[in-house]
Amino acid sequence: MRVVADSHVLIFYLFTPDRLSEPALEALGEAEDGLGIVVSAATLGDLWYASHKSGPNSLAPGAFESLRRTVLDPATNFNVVPITVDTMDHFARVPLIDLADPFDRFVLATAAQLRIPLVTADRAMSKAGVVPVIR
């Protein structure tokens, strides 16, 4: 199995897996043991941004660097994929009114481009109906 993990799911999977649903945790575990967990390059940007702001959606100090090291470690089965022209084609197909957050759009577009499920708890990403979603 191969899946795309959105930003929050990636954080939860690495740091607080008990916050994930059983289907999400199972899908991520199967992907990590199988074809890999895909991480959009945009996710790294999103999490870097979250690590540099304050408030309820910020990351704890050091969390981004720890996550980044784990995701980029060749010994793990995380696959960071770039944003390409093909990704942008999928990005543009999602109506802006359905999903305005650009980071979420890139993650969703990555799943659509690769034609694999997205693991997310984000209702807007699920509601877009672009790819199969595991919640």
Higher pLDDT, 60 or 16: 16
pLDDT band at 53 (very low <50, low <70, confident <90, very high): confident
Confidence at residue 61, expressed as pLDDT on a 0 to 100 scale: 86
90, pLDDT greater than 90: yes
SS3 breakdown of the chain: % helix, strand, coil, rounded to 5? 55, 15, 35
Q: In this predicted model, what pLDDT tens digit does every residue of 2-51 receive, in sequence order?
A: 999 999 999 999 999 999 999 999 999 999 999 999 999 999 999 999 99
In order, the DSSP letters of 55-105 are: STTPPPTTHHHHHHHHHH-TTS-EEEE---HHHHHHHHHS-TTT---HHHH
* Average pLDDT of the residues of the chain: 95
pTM, entire model: 0.94
Given a cut of 90, whether residue 56 has pLDDT beyond it is no
The total number of structural domains that make up the chain: 1
Residue pair 31/1 in contact by the 8 Å Cβ criterion:
yes
Number of Cβ within a 10 Å radius of residue 98: 14
Q: Which amino acid is at 76?
A: T
- Enumerate the β-bridge partners of residue 81: 40
Beta carbons within 8 Å of 121's beta carbon, 6+ residues apart:
6, 8, 9, 21, 24, 135
Q: What is the pLDDT of residue 95?
A: 87
Domain membership of residue 115 as a residue range:
2-134
- CATH for 7: 3.40.50.1010
